Amino acid sequence: MNILYDVFGTPFGYLMMWIYNLVNNYGIAIILFTLVTKIILSPINYKTQKNAARMQLLNPKLQKLKKSYANNPQKMQEEQMKLYQAEGVNPMASCLPAVVQMVLLFGVLDVVYKPLTHILRFNKSVISDAVQIAIKCGQKIPNNDLRSELKILSAFSGNESKFSGLSENFVSRVTEFNSNFNFLGVNLGAVPKFSLSADQPIGLFLIPIFAGVAQLLYTVYTQIHQKRVNPDMPQMAGMGIMMYTMPIVSIFFAYKVPAGVGFYWIFSSLFSLAITAALNAYFTNERIEAICEKDRAKARKYAEANGGKKTFMQKMLEQQQNVIEEQKKQAALKENGEKMSRSEVNAVNRKQINDARRRMAEKYGDDYSDEN
């Protein structure tokens, strides 16, 4: 896991260093860095939401298939694949962009959590020695703690003399950096306390709360939009509870880490909300229809230019279709290898459906009989 932070943190680290040297304030640098990285990732967001919008456009047809083949899951899956092929839609197309975005976010977090590495450019041995001094100052820093550098900054304040033996002008450089670590009077290297007190600025106390509220706004907007564009989508109660619990969890953790982390979470959620809302407004049904037609034309043009050669997406869908056909063939054979009659196949399908219903009834304590 750490290698992902190191590999992707390096290029983003140079970006953060350039922004910080430009504005000379860590809080402003965090805001600009978050905005720039969101812009960098916006093509991935665009592709993800475009695929999601195309799937939403197909939803009425998919719902019709589900009703038509409610008692024949294999046939329903087969017809779905045919629909995807006819429309040129890959239901798995959103997965790769999401994975790429998640991997890149490791680099973004690495930069936010490691200002001594990416902004001040101290070498690893100096940072390692600073960690040991911070531990002696009372900081709890387990091995491979991603937030160790922020904890060093917290320990540094009031204990500058204990770090005087470090090389690379550590004390003078960190002292200057700490003077630029404040944003609107709030020290972003300090850890907020879950209590109002005279020794804690109100802004420091509010950062975790704002982080949770910003995430909650993003979650609520996403849920409202999904319900509006896809009212027939089944709602999973457990998933809804988890999504609304996460902002509360964010508040809890934001009171355990330096304020710079919560500060980043605030603007990350707000920028994500703005970008998502803009893309949702852009992808109207009319525009998606035009995009779908353009993609179909592109696929036809590709096939003509390559002698009927299929695109990668078409090959994937055909492969999935072949798997379904093979499953149907296997399901249509008796134990002795003889082919089943149509009535026997239907009986097997009904039995599979009844078995699934029985398992669900047992799981949730409901009454069940084969006559249901």
Distance CA 1, CA 110 (A): 11
- pLDDT tens profile 271-293: 989 998 998 888 887 888 887 77
Q: What angle do CA 13, 14, 20 make, to 5 degrees?
A: 90
Q: Which range has highest mean pLDDT (53-62, 176-185, 302-311)?
A: 176-185
pLDDT winner (highest mean) among 9-13, 165-169, 283-287: 165-169
**What is the structure's pLDDT at 334?**
47
Distance between CA atoms of residues 24 and 43, nearest Å: 29
Q: Is the CB of residue 256 less than 8 Å from the CB of residue 145?
A: no
For the stretch 73-86, pLDDT in tens is 777 777 777 777 66
Question: Taking 70 as the threshold, does the pLDDT of residue 172 lie above it?
Answer: yes
pLDDT in tens, 333-357: 544 455 566 666 666 666 666 666 6
Q: Provide the token pair at 38.
A: 């969101």
77 in Cβ contact with 324 (< 8 Å) = yes
Query: How much is the average pLDDT of 154-171?
Result: 87
Here the tokens at position 120 are 């001040």
Dist. CA 44–CA 39, nearest whole Å: 10
Q: What percent of the chain has pLDDT over 70?
A: 70
Q: What is the pLDDT of residues 124-160, one digit of tens each?
A: 899 999 999 989 888 888 887 777 888 888 888 788 8
Q: Dihedral through CA 250, CA 254, CA 260, CA 266, nearest 10? A: 30
- The model's pLDDT over 296-335, given as tens digits with 9 standing for 90+, comes to 777 667 666 766 555 555 555 566 556 555 555 555 554 4
Query: Nearest Cα to 163, choosing from 193, 136, 188?
Result: 136
Would you state the pLDDT for residue 356? 62
The more confidently predicted of residues 100 and 368 is: 100
Nearest CA-CA partner of 263 in 219, 208, 200, 187 = 208
Nearest-Å Rg of the Cα atoms of the chain is 28
- Of the candidates 175, 182, 242, the one whose C-alpha atom is nearest the C-alpha of residue 215 is 242
- CB proximity list for 311: less than 8 A, separation 6 or greater: 299, 302, 303
Measured between alpha carbons, how far is 123 from 43 in angstroms, rounded to an integer? Answer: 34
Q: Is 183 helix (H, G, I), strand (E, B) or coil?
A: strand
Query: CA torsion, points 13, 15, 17, 22, in degrees to nearest 10?
Result: -170
Q: What is the mean pLDDT of residues 254-270?
A: 85
CA quadruple 206, 211, 217, 219: dihedral positive or negative?
negative
52 or 299, higher pLDDT: 52
Sequence spans of domains, the chain: 2-285, 343-372
Alpha helices in 180-284, H assignment, sequence order: 202-229, 237-254, 259-282
Is the pLDDT confidence value at 32 over 90?
Answer: yes
Q: How far apart are CA 128 and CA 123, in angstroms?
A: 9
Cα 106 to Cα 359: distance, rounded to the nearest angstrom: 40
Work out the pLDDT band at 213, boundaries 50, 70, 90: very high
**Which whole number is the average pLDDT over 262-275?**
90
Closest CA to 178 of 262, 268, 258, 266: 258
Reported pTM: 0.69
**Residue 111 and residue 33 in contact, taking contact as beta carbons nearer than 8 Å:** yes
The mean per-residue pLDDT over the stretch 252-258 comes to 81
